[in-house]
Amino acid sequence: TLITGNAPGNDMRFYWERVESSRNFANKVWNASRFIMMNLEGRQVKEPENLKALCPEDQWILSRLNTVIREVTENMDKYELGIAVQKVYDFLWDELCDWYIEMVKPRLYGEKGQSRTAALWTLKTVLVKGRQMLHPFMPFITEEIYQALPGSAETIMTQAWPTVDESHNWPEEEEAFEKVMDYIKAVRTMRTEMNVHPAKKTSMVIETADPAPF
């Protein structure tokens, strides 16, 4: 709460709404971590041999993770703590929880084999590196989550700061997937404006001169 939205040299008003927002974020992080660890329980997941065979959503979240690590590291080096924590917040809440986890649930529940294993490995990778970035700002909850992860070290405090993995850079796939996300957002907006019941299915045809590759 004290770091988010804060900038050096500026006074910041205290609002309980900001504290409640931070509490909600902590709950979101905790519940997402429990969901991931529940699906990892009793399973050993390794990095796929062929990363290009990952599903589009896997490549997107890993590529986004690289971008966030790079930008947050630069912000931390410049002591721009408020900007850094906001980027971690947005990545974990919006991109990991609201998009990626929801997208891979069918693969976790209804599929077996490489697709399910790839989703679990991606989830674990993003969970570990995401918590490492969040640790300087929320040390207690991240420590608790880290120690519950199978195969983790004694404490997250001794782990190295996450670094960019060049093999996880897919800028073209990331851009294409974000176009799909924009389509989904547009459909949701239209459904809301037209008062379509959430349970009612919708058919959609997308016409574009530059179609996404999936």
**pLDDT tens string 131-151:** 999 999 999 999 999 988 877
Instruction: Give which of 141, 101, 107 is closest to 124, Cα–Cα.
Output: 101
Q: Which two tokens stand for residue 69?
A: 């690590």
The pLDDT of residue 74 is 97
Instruction: Give which of 93, 55, 69 is closest to 161, Cα–Cα.
Output: 69
pLDDT band at 22 (very low <50, low <70, confident <90, very high): very high
Helix 16-40 vs helix 114-134: crossing angle, to nearest 10: 140
**pLDDT for 98 beyond 80:** yes
Q: Please indicate whether residue 179 or residue 34 has the higher confidence score (pLDDT).
A: 34
pLDDT band at 211 (very low <50, low <70, confident <90, very high): low
Q: Which two tokens stand for residue 167?
A: 């093999």
**pLDDT for 34 beyond 90:** yes
Please tell me the distance from the alpha carbon of residue 28 to that of residue 186, in angstroms, as a whole number: 25
pLDDT band at 210 (very low <50, low <70, confident <90, very high): low
Per-chain mean pLDDT for the chain: 87
Q: Which two tokens stand for residue 188?
A: 């949701």
The pLDDT of residue 21 is 93
Highest mean pLDDT among 41-50, 53-62, 108-117, 171-180: 53-62
**pLDDT for 95 beyond 70:** yes
Q: pTM for this structure?
A: 0.85
The pLDDT of residue 214 is 47
Residue 162 and residue 129 in contact, taking contact as beta carbons nearer than 8 Å: yes
Q: What separation in angstroms does the CA of 164 have from each of 38, 78, 133, 170?
A: 27, 18, 12, 12
The pLDDT of residue 176 is 86
**pLDDT for 178 beyond 90:** no
Mean pLDDT along residues 170-191? 83
Lowest mean pLDDT segment, chosen from 87-91, 106-110, 134-138, 199-203: 199-203
CA angle 72–52–171, rounded 5-degree value: 40
The pLDDT of residue 33 is 94
Q: Is 33 exposed, middle or buried (0-12, 13-18, 19+ CB in 10 A)?
A: buried
Find the radius of gyration of the CA atoms of the chain: 19
The pLDDT of residue 162 is 95
